[in-house]
């Protein structure tokens, strides 16, 4: 087991004007489950492959423990890519299926036996070790395949979108199992996904990337409560955070008729407008004319809660911070499922004071 | 949802297959072989208008991706199975959606490695298979293809004048890049080494491997074979300006390995005393292209080499070295090759490919001549061969097999709700 360090690691493909991964600095703790997440093309897979040794590093270094692996061949790095499909061999027992790669590596028999038994214990396969794969259920076979990676006891597990081919239900089931198994094994793991829910539910910490640049590394909680910029704010959380561009006056930020209380010093850095972020569950919703006036377009009743989809009546107010897609993207508020507002009615919304996110439209950075 | 077939070849008969039935339940009347073994996906070999097609049930996006990948590899002229189409929008008669299907043509006279091991083998079969796979991997890597799942089971082998020619069957994990990094190539090699050792150990456990065969040793040969071929094809060579014959020599060596050099980078040092050369673009198929140009015969590389050798001796024996090569080739084709192949009775046509039979007849003639102490005419050799040797050979035109037991490393829980796609 080991720490992993990206030290200004850079990957630029020949012919590309910008790096795919740009001076990535990232320290991953021993035993940590770190998730690299971001939209397609953000550099998450490239980062993982740099660590695996599949992509050349054009600048900076990568360390596993205190060993500089930047120029080592993949097989000399002591990492296991767990995203491949493993074959199971019909004539070999479960124990042989799990241990044969060690035999190839020249590990002696007693050591192979010991590692196979340990892995079998973790995977609840002890009683099946002498059986052939045919005599196992589908689920057990999957665990044998996983055992192949575990017995190698690599310093780091690497997983590249391992759930992307599963259907939704199985994906949920499996992500819990991978996370639980990782915690039992305590092996440092780097996991790549484009799915922020997967990232939030699995990672000890999450690293969000965009355009080859690291945006933020934090625990899921920190990431959710204090995104460092508009991109992270909009990317993490489902349904996504509402991001509303509103005017800034001398009295503060005007969220419709509601003045948002914010530190003077923070206010001074802003120009004439601010992007206010509010998560659907942090919306104060009222019929009194206090806040931003919205027209309800749809209500989704979930039982205990309801999601209200609404659009600003003042058409100069843009959502999502970008000014584009304001029509396509409604404001979403979570409310009591027993008395949701009617479709077509007017509501007023403003952020709860202690769950307020304010970003500077100039650079997208958080100001509060 | 409407059934949708994306296919390069317009083949309306494809609609007639029972797409509304899960592939594993397809009625036996459609199947060309009984399903054996278990694999990651359901795969069936299906009779379809006089040919055999392979149908793999798989998620739609994966099917489309693999279809596009196989097409791309085909355009690059790399040896792989031919994709026929993708069938999406499948549903059962009561409206339950079914996974998509990827359809490929079955490669005639190809042999899955497990089928080879169920026959009596020449002693160095594993080495020859590994050689063929190493050559395939080099070709794929030169084209920028990273395979990700190199193994004997993801490869089909065709006999090639005593050796084997390897074809890629499964491109599911593959990626096509402008160029591969050393790390990507090394990773593929490591995957190959581990998978091949595993596959041979499995044969050993099943009692199919000869005593004394060493799976680990054999599998590490792929690394050595790959490296020597790679460095011959891409390595930089330096020599004194006076030794310019070494350029021709390098090209001859590459030709002998079956490659043509399309582009060679040459430079001198500052003082102009040494020359440095490096092949930049090489194309496999040196002999098969030449044979195709001369005779129209489309055969594997070693077969082509064998046929060209025979053509050359024909030319020398008839003292026609002054005649144009094309004219002699035409005569050889109509007077030697075609009569030999035509001497094989129709009922044995499914045993071996014509070019492979021709190669075997040449071998047979050599042994007959050695025994007799004088040159045996090819007519006698083919008659003897058809009488004594060919009838005992198995039919290899349509050997089918799905034997891999592979699955993703996920979803290891649930015995109750076994998902179809991870089977």
pLDDT tens, B179-194? Answer: 999 999 999 999 999 9
CA distance A207 to A222: 12
Q: Tokens for A332?
A: 């979403």
Query: For B414, which of A92, A165, A173 is closest by C-beta distance?
Result: A173
β-pair partners for B176:
B145
At B44, is the pLDDT very low, low, confident or very high (cuts 50, 70, 90)?
Answer: confident
Residue A118: DSSP 8-state = H
User: What ranges do the domains of chain B cover?
Assistant: 23-108, 111-234, 237-284, 287-343+353-392
A237 Cβ contact partners less than 8 Å away, ≥ 6 residues apart: A196, A224, A279
The dotted CATH code for B111-234 is: 1.10.510.10
User: Are A75 and B148 inside 8 Å of each other by CB?
Assistant: no
Residues of chain B numbered 42-61 and touching chain A (CB < 8 Å): 59
Q: Chain B residue closest to A123 (CA)? A: B412
CA distance A317 to A323: 8
- Looking at the complex, report in whole angstroms how far the Cα of residue B337 sits from the nearest Cα belonging to chain A: 44
A198, pLDDT greater than 90: yes
Interface check for B231 against chain A (CB to CB < 8 A): the answer is no
Residues of chain B numbered 57-116 and touching chain A (CB < 8 Å): 59, 62
- Chain B positions touching A53 (Cβ under 8 A) are 183, 186-187
CA distance A63 to A86: 27
pTM across the whole model: 0.85
- Chain A positions touching B423 (Cβ under 8 A) are 138
Interface check for A313 against chain B (CB to CB < 8 A): the answer is no
Asked if B295 and B330 count as a contact pair (C-beta separation under 8 A), the reply is yes
B409, pLDDT greater than 50: no
Structure confidence by residue, pLDDT tens digits, A144-187 = 888 888 898 899 999 988 887 677 777 888 888 889 889 999 99
Higher pLDDT, A166 or A93: A93
B401, pLDDT greater than 70: no
Could you count the other beta carbons within 10 Å of the beta carbon of residue B59? 18
Interface check for A108 against chain B (CB to CB < 8 A): the answer is no
Mutate to test the interface with B, among A21, A76, A77, A84 (most CBs of B within 10 A): A84
Fold agreement (B23-108, B111-234):
no
Q: Chain A residue closest to B195 (CA)? A: A87
Residue A180: DSSP 8-state = H
Instruction: Tell me the helices (H) and strands (E) count for chain B, helix number first.
Output: 12, 14
Quote the pLDDT of residue B418.
39
Structure confidence by residue, pLDDT tens digits, B333-367 = 999 999 999 999 999 988 999 999 999 999 999 99
Asked if B105 and B51 count as a contact pair (C-beta separation under 8 A), the reply is yes
Percent of chain B whose predicted confidence (pLDDT) is above 90: 58
Q: Tokens for A271?
A: 């120009």
Asked if B161 and B300 count as a contact pair (C-beta separation under 8 A), the reply is yes
Structure confidence by residue, pLDDT tens digits, A228-282 = 999 999 999 988 999 999 999 887 899 999 999 888 888 888 888 999 999 999 9
Quote the pLDDT of residue B120.
63
Range of A339-343, B35-39, B317-321 with top mean pLDDT: A339-343
CA distance B70 to B77: 10
User: Are B191 and A142 inside 8 Å of each other by CB?
Assistant: no
Closest CA to B259 of B288, B284, B291: B284
CA distance A259 to B248: 83
Interface check for A90 against chain B (CB to CB < 8 A): the answer is yes
Number of residues assigned to chain B: 423
Quote the pLDDT of residue B183.
94
Interface check for B131 against chain A (CB to CB < 8 A): the answer is no
Choice among A150-164, A200-214, B127-141 with the minimum mean pLDDT: A150-164
CA distance A80 to A74: 9
Structure confidence by residue, pLDDT tens digits, B277-305 = 999 888 899 999 999 999 999 999 999 99
Structure confidence by residue, pLDDT tens digits, A33-92 = 999 999 999 999 999 999 999 999 999 999 999 999 999 999 999 999 875 567 788 899
Mutate to test the interface with B, among A12, A139, A149, A168 (most CBs of B within 10 A): A139
Pick among 3.40.50.300, 3.30.70.2190, 3.40.50.720, 3.30.200.20: CATH of B23-108: 3.30.200.20
Quote the pLDDT of residue A28.
98
- Looking at the complex, report in whole angstroms how far the Cα of residue B171 sits from the nearest Cα belonging to chain A: 12
Query: For A145, which of B182, B195, B407 is closest by C-beta distance?
Result: B407
């Amino acid at each position: 087991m080991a720490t992993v360090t990206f030290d200004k690691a850079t990957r630029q493909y020949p012919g590309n004007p910008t790096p795919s991964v740009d001076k990535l600095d990232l320290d991953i703790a021993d035993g940590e489950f770190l998730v690299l997440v971001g939209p397609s093309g953000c550099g998450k897979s490239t980062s993982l492959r740099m660590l695996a040794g599949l992509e050349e590093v054009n600048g900076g270094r990568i360390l596993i423990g205190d060993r500089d692996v930047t120029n080592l061949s993949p097989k000399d790095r002591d990492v296991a890519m767990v995203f491949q499909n493993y074959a199971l061999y019909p004539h070999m027992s479960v124990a042989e299926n799990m241990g044969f790669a060690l035999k190839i590596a020249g590990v002696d028999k007693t050591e192979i036996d010991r590692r196979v038994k340990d892995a079998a214990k973790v995977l609840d396969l002890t009683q099946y070790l002498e059986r052939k794969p045919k005599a196992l259920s589908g689920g057990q076979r999957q665990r044998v395949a996983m055992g192949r990676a575990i017995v190698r006891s690599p310093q780091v597990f690497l997983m590249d979108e391992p759930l992307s081919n599963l259907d939704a239900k199985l994906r949920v089931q499996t992500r819990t199992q991978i996370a639980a198994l990782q915690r039992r094994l305590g092996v440092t793991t780097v996991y790549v996904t484009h799915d922020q829910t997967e990232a939030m539910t699995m990672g000890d910490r999450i690293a969000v990337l965009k355009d080859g640049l690291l945006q933020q590394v934090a625990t899921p909680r920190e990431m959710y409560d204090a995104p460092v910029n508009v991109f992270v704010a909009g990317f993490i959380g489902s349904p996504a955070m509402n991001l509303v561009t509103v005017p800034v006056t001398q009295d503060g930020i005007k969220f419709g008729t509601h003045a948002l209380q914010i530190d003077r010093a923070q206010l001074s850095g802003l120009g004439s407008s601010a992007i206010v972020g509010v998560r659907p569950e942090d919306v104060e919703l009222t019929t009194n004319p206090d806040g931003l006036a919205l027209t309800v377009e749809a209500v989704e009743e979930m039982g205990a809660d309801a999601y209200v989809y609404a659009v600003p009546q003042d058409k100069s107010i843009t959502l999502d911070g970008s000014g584009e897609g304001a029509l396509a993207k409604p404001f979403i508020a979570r409310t009591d499922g027993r008395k949701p507002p009617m479709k077509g009615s007017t509501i007023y919304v403003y952020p709860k004071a202690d769950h307020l996110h304010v970003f500077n439209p100039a650079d997208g950075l958080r100001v509060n | 949802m409407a059934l949708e077939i994306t296919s390069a070849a317009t083949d309306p008969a494809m609609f007639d297959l029972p797409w509304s039935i899960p592939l594993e339940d397809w009625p036996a009347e459609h199947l060309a072989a009984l399903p054996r073994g278990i694999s990651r996906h359901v795969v069936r070999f299906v009779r379809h208008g006089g040919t055999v097609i392979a149908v793999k049930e798989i998620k739609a996006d994966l099917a489309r991706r693999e279809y596009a990948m196989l097409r791309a590899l085909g355009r690059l002229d790399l040896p792989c199975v031919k994709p026929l189409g993708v069938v999406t929008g499948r549903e059962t008669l009561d409206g339950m959606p079914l996974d998509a299907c990827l359809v490929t043509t079955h490669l005639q006279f190809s042999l899955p490695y497990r089928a080879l091991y169920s026959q009596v083998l020449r002693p160095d079969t594993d080495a020859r298979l590994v050689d063929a796979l190493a050559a395939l991997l080099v070709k794929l890597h030169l084209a920028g293809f990273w395979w990700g799942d190199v193994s004997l089971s993801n490869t089909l082998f065709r006999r090639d004048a005593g050796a084997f020619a390897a074809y890629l069957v499964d491109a599911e994990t593959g990626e096509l890049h402008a160029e591969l990094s050393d790390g990507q190539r090394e990773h593929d090699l490591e995957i190959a080494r581990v998978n091949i050792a595993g596959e041979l150990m499995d044969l050993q456990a099943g009692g199919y491997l000869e005593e004394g065969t060493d799976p680990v040793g054999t599998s590490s040969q792929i690394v050595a074979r790959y490296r020597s071929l790679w460095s011959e094809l891409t390595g930089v060579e330096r020599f004194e300006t006076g030794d310019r014959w070494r350029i021709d020599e390098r090209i001859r060596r590459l030709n002998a390995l079956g490659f043509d050099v399309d582009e060679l980078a040459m430079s001198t040092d500052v003082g102009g005393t040494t020359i440095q050369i490096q092949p930049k673009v090489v194309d496999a198929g040196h002999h098969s292209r030449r044979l195709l140009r001369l005779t129209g015969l489309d055969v594997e590389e070693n077969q082509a080499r064998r046929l060209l050798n025979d053509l050359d001796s024909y030319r020398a024996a008839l003292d026609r070295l002054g005649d144009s090569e094309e004219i002699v080739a035409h005569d050889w084709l109509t007077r030697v090759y075609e009569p030999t192949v035509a001497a094989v009775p129709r009922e044995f046509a499914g045993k071996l490919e014509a070019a492979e039979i021709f190669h075997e007849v040449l071998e047979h003639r050599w042994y007959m001549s050695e025994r007799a102490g004088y040159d045996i005419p090819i007519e006698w050799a083919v008659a003897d061969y058809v009488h004594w040797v060919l009838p005992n050979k198995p039919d290899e035109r349509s050997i089918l097999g799905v034997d891999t037991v592979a699955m993703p490393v996920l979803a290891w829980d649930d015995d109750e709700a076994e998902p179809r796609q991870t089977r």
